[in-house]
Structure 1
């Protein structure tokens, strides 16, 4: 078995930035939490990086669209003003629109999982 660091996100697109060779999607996922005996949404934002054919798929999507994204987690490190800055990149290898029932609209994108 290979070692992996992967992520899955189901959420709505809040912002997109599409370039020639890379695209970035800000995706909001809502969790429920109880605060003072009341349930409320706890929104988490994730910035996902896309390359290759996934850029074309992202270009077909709009702000507010619900999507399912799978990918790998990649740590990054660089120097800024003499200090080391650490980050985590979420690099998508699959992206698909999600249907109303939260199932992928295109079942081929989930092929081979189990």
Structure 2
């Protein structure tokens, strides 16, 4: 049996930054949340996605822009390192799929 740790996100692209041979793309997933008056409000959460694959990096850099609605899926990897005698823990979201669903001008019914 295969063991897995995966993520799936549908959201909007924020900033993109090349870090060495890796591309980091921030994607905002929007969750609904009731405020104190009982009205549903947007509650976006930013996720930093790491892209190692060269073809996927080129596709994103050449064809996608801030605000595009995208679908991304991949694996989750926990990390840790030592800094000033303390252990710092983190989680990497490593994309294996990354696809544009719509440009901001194509949005219908959102």
Q: 1:108 — aligned with what? A: none
Give the structure-1-normalised TM-score: 0.83
**1:40 Cα deviation (Å)?**
0.3
Mapping of residues 72-91 of structure 1, within 5 Å: 72-91=75-94
> Structure 1 residue aligned with 2:56, among 54, 57, 62?
54
- Count residues in correspondence: 102
Mapping of residues 1-114 of structure 1, within 5 Å: 1-19=1-19, 21-35=21-35, 36-52=37-53, 53-59=55-61, 60-99=63-102
* Poorly superposed stretches of 4+, deviation over 3 Å: 99-102
**1:19 Cα deviation (Å)?**
4.5
Give the structure-2-normalised TM-score: 0.86
Unmatched tracts of structure 1, length 5 or more: 103-114
Aligned-residue RMSD, C-alpha: 1.7
Unmatched tracts of structure 2, length 5 or more: none
Q: Deviations over 1:4-54 (max 9, x none)?
A: 000000000110013551100011011111112111001110000001221
SS in 1 for 2:25: strand
Q: Going by fraction, where is strand more abundant, 1 or 2?
A: 2
Partners of 1:19 and 1:82 in 2: how far apart?
26
